[in-house]
């Protein structure tokens, strides 16, 4: 299992550095008709003649992050929402409505998010700091940029101007420290630091999974931090200083019987992987005297490191520095219109140091053999300047009818691309119980860094395009009960196709924009809000996702095609101190490409190559898993303490999440490895605040 996970990390993370252009603009916070995609995000809340402080987690997010399994990672709760699946049991990064995780846009306050999930699974956030967590699965607003899948928007709460508070938490998987204090009546800060503990819990990592051919020298170490300082300059002005960062480190040795070395002997030897990001920013919020207009200005500076060293002196070092200037203006234009306008300017500098065998390869290739790939040696820099501008008007046509119409413009000087995208959303409160909605939007996204970088990729690629359509209805009834049905369609065009000398005359350009695709489906959500001591939901998703090679005409089911996804979540709160919960997940098995035969490499007789059948033509067995949770908390004379136990996969279901086939280069036989998901796993943790 370590062989499978470490290989995925070592050779997908450094080659998949996303060139993120984060608009970091939030949805309008005025009271409106219910937003069926998500709760309205409160970035700048006007209350009389002051800027409201958001010092607590909002109620909807608190319920979402209290479900079974959330003690392991709070953002794992997103995997229980309609239309959301995952890469594996060991990763919380979501794939939403037929889009891959890398198609998503991630936002954390005003800081452009390098990533919000560690390489080996959990998110980078201390749950004590989250104000709101919102998922927009499709047809999101004009403020969001560089995403064709979904948008994940995390808002960290404001520091409290109270006496010094220390919060300690720990579980089998990690430990954290949170310091928070008021400096004066109008100033406060907090600082959070967390570290994984897996490497400390295992005394001899080299003894783990020796049959895989991988000797683990250092188990993955994940660290993250968040810092926030606020200064209420007066009732019309606020200054905020932000900092955030995360890192992942791991070391291993690939031996002759490992999957990688069997495919290519040049991978034999020690391997180290490091990914890291650090970001700092400053933001200014201003409110007009009459409260009708608000401005936000911010500057952020972010540095990313993606390094991998392995095999016979091969390495990939990609360092990125980015600076972003962002502005947003909100204004009430009379009683019927609320206007939002803004944009950002971003300068990105890449420094690439490569000495590696890198084939042109994408997620649409069942295998990416490196045995005959050219050794690329590169020490180069390239720069990209990009801009985005948006304008959106929320028009209350009638008290029961609202239209949100906007435009988003994206351009850059590296690809020379330009995209101006319209986005619309109509909501009608037909009766007190019934609400109908429809949304439509165009979206553009830059290819991944390895696909557009010089030598490694094709700097002449164009933007990836997507068109989203959504229609739905919501009905509320009874004691905080409601149901929602929604149908969606996503059309994708100009995705990168990796070129091959065997079939493409222009293979020297390595990539072209010749993949298209579509995703469509229906989702049903039955939900009960917290009353009578319990809440929960039942979410059913039926869908289909395809991709198509426009050159060959070949079409296939996409990796994240899950025709059936069913999630049942229920929490029971018998008192203020106790909480019990369950989560049961059922979904179609993942797709995989079967191996039909093996053959000796024509260039290296020691290597036996695999010949694959039709792409994604086989499906793994049905996936299902039950998680249970119990939590107890109580106040004390010095503060509070709480403890929880999460039991994941209670009935120890053996969920197969991948099949890999590797030929044995000595005997010429084929070896099949089944990658199993998480087995029965209890996690106990505690939290003390004083």
**Structural domains in the chain, sorted by start:** 2-689 (2.40.170.20)
Q: How many Å apart are CA 494 and CA 551, to the nearest integer?
A: 12
Q: Are 588 and 624 in contact (CB under 8 A)?
A: no
Q: Are 278 and 302 in contact (CB under 8 A)?
A: yes
**β-strand partners of 486:** 472, 523
**Of 542, 581, 440, nearest to 82 (Cα)?**
542
Q: E strands along 311-367, which residues? A: 314-333, 337-357
- pLDDT score recorded for residue 89: 73
- Out of 70-79, 93-102, 176-185, the most confident range is 176-185
**pLDDT level of residue 502 (50, 70, 90 thresholds):** confident
Helix (H) or strand (E) holding 6: helix 2-12
Q: How many Å apart are CA 70 and CA 627, to the nearest integer?
A: 10
Q: How many Å apart are CA 41 and CA 654, to the nearest integer?
A: 39
Q: What is the pLDDT of residues 543-589, one digit of tens each?
A: 999 999 999 999 999 999 999 999 999 999 999 899 999 999 999 99
Q: Are 541 and 521 in contact (CB under 8 A)?
A: yes
Q: Give the dihedral sign, CA 144/149/150/153.
A: negative
592: Cβ contacts below 8 Å, ≥ 6 apart: 616, 618, 619, 620, 658, 659
Q: Are 477 and 433 in contact (CB under 8 A)?
A: yes
Radius of gyration of the chain (CA): 25
**pLDDT level of residue 667 (50, 70, 90 thresholds):** very low
- For residues 463-498, one letter each, b for 16 or more C-beta atoms within 10 angstroms of the residue's C-beta and e for the rest, the string is bbbbbbbbbbbbebeeeeebebebebbbebbbbbbb
Neighbouring C-beta atoms of residue 200, cutoff 10 Å:
12
Q: What is the pLDDT of residues 25-64, one digit of tens each?
A: 333 333 333 333 443 323 333 333 357 888 898 888 888 8
> Is 285 strand, coil or helix?
strand
- pLDDT score recorded for residue 202: 73
Maximum Cα–Cα distance across the chain:
80
Neighbouring C-beta atoms of residue 397, cutoff 10 Å:
11
> Is 504 strand, coil or helix?
coil
- pLDDT score recorded for residue 293: 93
Helix (H) or strand (E) holding 201: helix 198-201
Q: How many Å apart are CA 465 and CA 446, to the nearest integer?
A: 9
Q: Are 590 and 566 in contact (CB under 8 A)?
A: no
- Token reading at 293: 């207009």
Phi, psi of 456 (to 5 degrees): -70, -35
**Of 399, 359, 381, 608, nearest to 498 (Cα)?**
359
Q: Are 267 and 254 in contact (CB under 8 A)?
A: yes
- pLDDT score recorded for residue 144: 93
Q: How many Å apart are CA 155 and CA 153, to the nearest integer?
A: 7
**Of 518, 465, 536, nearest to 495 (Cα)?**
465
Distance of CA 179 to the CA centre of its chain: 27
- pLDDT score recorded for residue 330: 94
Secondary-structure breakdown of the chain: helix, strand, coil percentages, each rounded to the nearest 5: 10, 55, 35
**pLDDT level of residue 394 (50, 70, 90 thresholds):** very high
Mean pLDDT, range 528-534, rounded to an integer: 83
Q: What is the pLDDT of residues 261-280, one digit of tens each?
A: 878 888 999 999 999 999 99
**Of 524, 529, 538, 528, nearest to 584 (Cα)?**
538
Q: What is the pLDDT of residues 152-172, one digit of tens each?
A: 888 999 999 999 999 999 988
Mean pLDDT, range 394-400, rounded to an integer: 94
Residue pointed to by tokens 């959070």: 192
Mean pLDDT, range 381-390, rounded to an integer: 92
Report how far apart, in Å, the C-alpha atoms of 457 and of each of 223, 378, 447, 453, 511 are: 31, 12, 10, 5, 6
**β-strand partners of 252:** 216, 271
What percentage of the chain has pLDDT greater than the value 70?
Answer: 88
Q: How many Å apart are CA 196 and CA 122, to the nearest integer?
A: 10
Q: How many Å apart are CA 555 and CA 562, to the nearest integer?
A: 17
Q: How many Å apart are CA 554 and CA 550, to the nearest integer?
A: 7
Give 386-420 as a DSSP string. EEEEEEEEEEEEETTEEEEEEEEEEEESSS--EEE
> Is 126 strand, coil or helix?
coil
How many CA atoms are closer than 13 Å to the CA of 185, on its beta-carbon side?
2
**β-strand partners of 498:** 511
**Of 441, 444, 493, nearest to 468 (Cα)?**
441
Q: What is the pLDDT of residues 625-647, one digit of tens each?
A: 999 999 999 988 788 999 999 99
- pLDDT score recorded for residue 276: 93
Flag whether pLDDT at 519 surpasses 70: yes
- Token reading at 217: 């020298």
**Of 166, 160, 115, nearest to 278 (Cα)?**
115
Residue pointed to by tokens 């996702």: 545
Mean pLDDT, range 93-100, rounded to an integer: 91
79: Cβ contacts below 8 Å, ≥ 6 apart: 85, 86, 92, 94, 567, 585
């Amino acid at each position: 299992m370590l062989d499978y996970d470490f290989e995925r990390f070592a050779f997908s993370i450094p080659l998949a550095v996303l060139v993120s252009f984060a608009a970091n603009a939030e949805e309008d916070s005025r009271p409106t008709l219910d937003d069926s995609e998500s709760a309205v995000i409160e970035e700048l809340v006007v209350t009389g003649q002051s800027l409201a402080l958001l010092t607590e987690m909002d109620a909807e997010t608190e319920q979402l992050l209290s479900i079974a399994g959330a003690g392991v990672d709070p953002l794992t709760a997103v995997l229980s929402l309609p239309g959301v699946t995952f890469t594996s049991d060991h990763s919380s990064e979501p794939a939403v409505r037929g889009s891959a995780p890398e198609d998503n846009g991630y936002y954390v306050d005003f800081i452009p998010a390098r990533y919000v999930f560690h390489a080996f699974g959990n998110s980078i956030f201390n749950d004590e700091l989250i104000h709101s967590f919102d998922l927009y699965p499709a047809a999101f607003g004009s403020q969001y940029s560089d995403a064709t899948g979904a948008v994940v928007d995390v808002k960290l709460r404001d520091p409290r101007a109270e006496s010094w508070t220390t919060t300690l938490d720990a579980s089998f998987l990690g430990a954290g420290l949170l310091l928070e204090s008021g400096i004066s009546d109008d100033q406060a800060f907090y600082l959070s630091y967390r570290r994984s503990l897996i490497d400390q819990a295992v005394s001899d990592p080299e003894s783990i999974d020796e049959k895989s051919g991988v000797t683990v020298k250092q188990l993955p170490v994940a660290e993250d931090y968040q810092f926030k300082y606020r200064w209420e300059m007066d009732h019309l002005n606020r200054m905020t200083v932000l900092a955030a960062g995360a890192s992942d480190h791991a070391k291993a040795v690939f031996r002759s019987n490992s999957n990688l070395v069997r495919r290519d002997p040049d991978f034999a030897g020690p391997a180290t992987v490091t990914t890291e990001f650090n970001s700092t920013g400053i933001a200014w919020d201003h409110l007009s005297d009459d409260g009708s207009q608000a401005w936000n200005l911010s500057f952020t500076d972010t540095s990313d490191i993606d390094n991998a060293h392995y095999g016979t002196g091969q390495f990939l070092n990609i360092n990125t520095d980015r600076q972003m200037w962002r502005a947003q203006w909100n204004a009430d234009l009379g009683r019927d219109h609320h206007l939002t306008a803004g944009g950002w300017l971003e300068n990105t500098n890449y420094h690439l140091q490569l000495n590696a065998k890198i084939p042109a390869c994408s997620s649409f290739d069942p295998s990416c053999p490196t045995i005959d790939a050219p050794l690329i040696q590169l020490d180069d820099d390239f720069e990209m300047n990009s801009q985005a501008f948006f304008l959106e008007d929320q028009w209350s046509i009638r008290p029961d009818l609202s239209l949100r119409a906007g435009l988003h413009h994206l351009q850059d000087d590296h690809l020379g691309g330009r995209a101006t995208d319209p986005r619309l959303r109509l909501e009608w409160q037909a009766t007190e119980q019934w609400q109908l909605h429809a949304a439509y939007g165009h979206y553009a996204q830059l290819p991944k860094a390895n696909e557009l970088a010089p030598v490694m990729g094709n700097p002449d690629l164009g933007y990836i395009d997507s068109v989203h359509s959504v229609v739905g209805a919501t009905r509320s009834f009874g004691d905080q009960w409601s149901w929602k049905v929604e149908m969606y369609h996503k059309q994708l065009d100009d995705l990168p196709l990796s070129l091959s000398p065997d079939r493409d005359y222009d293979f020297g350009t390595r990539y072209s924009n010749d993949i298209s695709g579509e995703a469509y489906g229906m989702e049903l959500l039955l939900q009960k809000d917290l009353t009578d001591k319990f809440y929960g939901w039942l979410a059913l998703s039926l869908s289909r996702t395809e991709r198509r090679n426009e050159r060959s005409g070949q079409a296939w089911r996409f990796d994240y095609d899950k025709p059936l996804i069913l999630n049942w979540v229920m929490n029971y709160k018998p008192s203020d101190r106790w909480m019990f919960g369950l989560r049961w997940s059922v979904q179609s098995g993942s797709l995989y490409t079967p191996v039909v035969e093996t053959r000796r490499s024509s260039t290296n007789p020691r290597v036996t190559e695999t010949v694959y059948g039709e792409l994604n033509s086989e499906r793994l067995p049905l996936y299902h898993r039950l998680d249970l949770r119990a939590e107890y908390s109580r106040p004390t004379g010095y503060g509070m303490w709480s403890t929880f136990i999460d039991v994941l996969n209670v009935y120890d279901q053996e969920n197969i999440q991948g099949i890999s086939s590797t030929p044995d280069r000595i005997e010429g036989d084929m070896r099949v490895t089944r990658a199993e998901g998480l087995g029965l796993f209890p996690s106990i943790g505690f939290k003390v605040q004083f």
